[in-house]
Amino acid sequence: MSSPSRPAPPGDAPDDAPQPSDQRPATLDACRRCDLWRHATHGVPGDGPTPAPVMVVGEQPGNQEDLAGKAFVGPAGRLLDEAFEKAGLSRESVFLTNAVKHFKWELRGKRRLHKTPAQREIEACGYWLEDEFERVAPRVVVALGATALKAVLGVKATALRKVLGQPIEHEGRTVIPTYHPSYALRVPDPAAREAAFDEIVAALKLAAKFSGKAARKGAGKTVVKRSAAARSAPESAPKPRPKSKPKSKPKPAAEP
């Protein structure tokens, strides 16, 4: 469904095009760190409890998410709900978000169709993903698809199929890569569709298993929680961070 008042987005700018990536906006609606805001209806923030033991990261909002301003409310979100149920997880216990917060699309007839975010857009939106990591403090992150995995690991390239379902230790969290539900919806072969869905379910089951192990290890440690008002205050931007040391190479996690 296209918006009559919004033109189709222009073609991609070159990767070295200047972007206001040093901007530190206080709210997602004020974000101008890349150009995706120009053709989106809403910025779509993450949703769920803070803190939460499990965070699920997708690629970007889809058409329905863009119109509603909420994450995972379209067809992929409904399939993800089915996967949650089969994995024994409740949607309400998980923090759901996307690597990129604005819908990138191209017009086909009257339909707005998904277009894969560019690397510069993933990096620009890392500002918001890092803030969510700090607020949510997940023990386990399920990365849905290659874009999400790149964003979570902070790398520019990754081979998703080679690491599907393999827990990776990264910056104190366990990252579990799997397919995005939209991939399972697109696959034309029924057997391949079922196999992709089963991979997602298996990843969520593994996330529940690893989050329980981390909780047992952390028993007795003091955790300071911010008040609900402090967590939800929209006027405060993510705090500036000192220059980080070079990221260590992700390594396989030990089985729980």
Residue 21 binned pLDDT confidence (cut-offs 50, 70, 90): low
Asked whether the beta carbons of 100 and 121 are under 8 A apart, the reply is: yes
Of these ranges, 7-21, 206-220, 240-254, the one predicted with the greatest mean pLDDT is 206-220
Q: How much is the average pLDDT of 17-26?
A: 72
Residue 255 binned pLDDT confidence (cut-offs 50, 70, 90): low
Beta strand pairing call for 54-58 and 140-144 = parallel
Residue 254 binned pLDDT confidence (cut-offs 50, 70, 90): low
What is the CATH T-level fold of the domain 28-214, as seen in this structure? Uracil-DNA Glycosylase, subunit E (3.40.470)
Amino acid at 193: R
Amino acid at 30: A
> In terms of pLDDT, which residue wins out, 248 or 126?
126
Query: How far apart are alpha carbons 106 and 104 in whole angstroms?
Result: 7
pLDDT in tens, 85-112: 999 999 999 999 999 999 999 999 999 9
pLDDT in tens, 194-222: 999 999 999 999 999 999 866 555 544 43
pLDDT in tens, 59-77: 999 999 999 999 999 999 9
Burial of 198: CB neighbours in 10 Å, binned 0-12, 13-18, 19+: middle
